[in-house]
Amino acid sequence: MKIFMNGLELGREATGEMEVGQVLSEIQSEIHAGGKILLGASIDGVAIEKGFRRRRQLATPVTRVNKLELMIQDPEAVSEQILKDSLQIYRQLQHEVPVLATRFRMGDEFTANQQLADVLDRLTLSLKGSSMALKQRPLNSNLQGRLNQAGGELMPVLDRVLAAQTAGDYTALADQLEYKLPTALKNCFDCMLQATETQTVAPR
């Protein structure tokens, strides 16, 4: 079994009675020791999954595999990309939320509720991603305080959105979406954008 890392073939092969999982475990330890992280792996072009198939894939004998491909990256670069993706989600939501409020006001509740579920899922993804990425960054106390305040202002708005949806009070729901949530999103977006710019210009 030949081993490739970021498209480049390593100068070694896995042979004998080893399984893919054993080889992957050894290489992953080396990757971590080198300060990198493993983003993904594939066997003969088929991604190694995280579900129930993973065990079977890892138990494959190396003699039955031609190529093990690995994708690795610096943690800082991964963190940077996560933060960029989170910011992009915030940008999109700032435009979509007022439109969603209009749908609720027009009585298109079925479509609006489906879209609201999607908005909340993406917002949750953005919050988790940005939180994880910002933990890797040295922030001054003022910016950290602003981030905490922005998050503290956003969560009660989300609670009121969910409460209004549960109660079927679509007027109150639309009010939160039109007047409160965009402001809370903008505050979070502005803080994260400043955190990104601060990291970019900070001396090394």
Residue at a domain's end among 73, 95, 125: 73
Report, as ranges of residue numbers, the positions in the chain whose pLDDT lies below 70: 51-52, 75, 136-140, 198-204
Question: Which residue range forms the structural domain that includes residue 187?
Answer: 77-201
Q: Whole-angstrom Cα distance, residue 76 to residue 63?
A: 36
Residue 201, pLDDT score:
39
- What distance lies between CA 67 and its chain's CA centroid? 29
pTM flag (> 0.75)? no
Residue 202, pLDDT score:
40
Which run of H or E residues covers position 53?
helix 53-58
SS3 (DSSP) at 1: coil
Q: Find where tokens 């079994």 sit.
A: 1
Residue 137, pLDDT score:
66
> What CATH number does residue 60 fall under?
3.10.20
Orientation of helix 109-134 relative to helix 75-106, angle to 10°: 160
Kindly state the tokens that stand for 83: 């933060």
CA dihedral 77, 83, 84, 89 (to 10 degrees): 150
Residue at a domain's end among 73, 94, 109: 73
Counted domains in the chain? 2
